[in-house]
Amino acid sequence: MLHLHRATRADALVDALRETLADPPADPFATEVVAVPSRGVERWVAQRLSLGLGATTDRHDGICANVEFPSARRLIESALAAASGIDPDEDPWGPGRAVWPLLEVVDEHRGDRWLGALDAHLGRSRGRLGALRHISGLFDSYWIHRPEMLMRWAAGDDAGLPDDALWQAELWRRLRTHLDVASPAERLATACARLREEPELVDLPDRLAILGLTRLPAARLQVLSAIAARRDVHLHLLHPSPVLWDHVAATLGDPAGRVPRRRDDPTADLPRNRLLASWGQDARELQVVLAAGGPFSDRQHDGELADPTTLLARLQAG
């Protein structure tokens, strides 16, 4: 099950995490897994946890031990690799490895009409290899953020691309034929199904937590949801406004499993505060992605806030 914990302050999220870890697992020697975004956050979280875990009543003499702190990206990619059988470092679709096959495909079809726009750009560009590295990176980001678009490309559907971008779909299909290996987008559904049916594929405990995410692309949410089918996954999200969360939830209703394009996002105009609209965009869009991913439990961990006494506190409260 996916459990969502929200708070406007990071220390409240860590306190919620400590409450979760205070309940010991069935196996006392099982390693806890807490995914964090950086080593600095890892040290801070470990220090905060040690204030309460195993501490004497009314004292801060606890300990944080037998806890692993991988990155969320490494955790998700490792699970996907275990289910698909392809190591990310050996995947021919990796953005670094796909550059050279992409160069061969472009050289083979330089005279073709469908590649005219890219061919003209490469003729003017001094950094030909750099341009293809950029395209390879785009293809990699497409499968992470819009895997359904690449599935349509694989089926011969250009997915509504404008005329001046049709070459991207055709180039991707030619690269797919050249590599003769299923793309990550094509492997995603099968891998997620295996994670649901064979949870022992991944070396993860029955309970894990992820703290500090600011973005969760659609493909990685699918992997995380598959892991959560047989495990308790606690997602700790820093969100600046409980009121905005409620408004977004009411606006989305039932998103029917689809993440809307940014230009079609019905929640874009909900924030009235200009700072919240700008700085809170990632948190709002993360909620949109989560809502499309299926059911989850939701808990807000901020209590009643005291009357602000400083300028910074008044700004935060506003």
Across the range 159-166, mean pLDDT stands at 86
Reply yes or no on whether the pLDDT at 305 is more than 60. Answer: no
Residue 298 pLDDT grade (very low, low, confident, very high; cuts 50, 70, 90):
confident
Helix axes 128-145, 116-124, angle to 10 degrees: 140
Is 26 in a helix, a strand, or coil? coil
Greatest pairwise CA separation for the chain in angstroms: 76
What's the chain's average pLDDT? 87
The amino acid present at 76, given as its one-letter code, is: I
Our CA angle for 161, 166, 172, nearest 5°, is 105
Residue 306 pLDDT grade (very low, low, confident, very high; cuts 50, 70, 90):
low
pLDDT digits (tens, 9 = 90+) for 102-160: 999 999 998 888 988 888 888 877 778 888 999 999 999 999 988 889 999 999 998 88
Q: Tokens in use for 12? A: 């409240």
| DSSP label of 202 | S
pLDDT of residue 195: 93
pLDDT digits (tens, 9 = 90+) for 167-188: 999 999 999 999 999 999 999 9
Number of residues in the chain: 318
Across the range 96-105, mean pLDDT stands at 92
pLDDT of residue 303: 60
Q: What is the β-pairing status of strands 67-68 and 32-35?
A: parallel
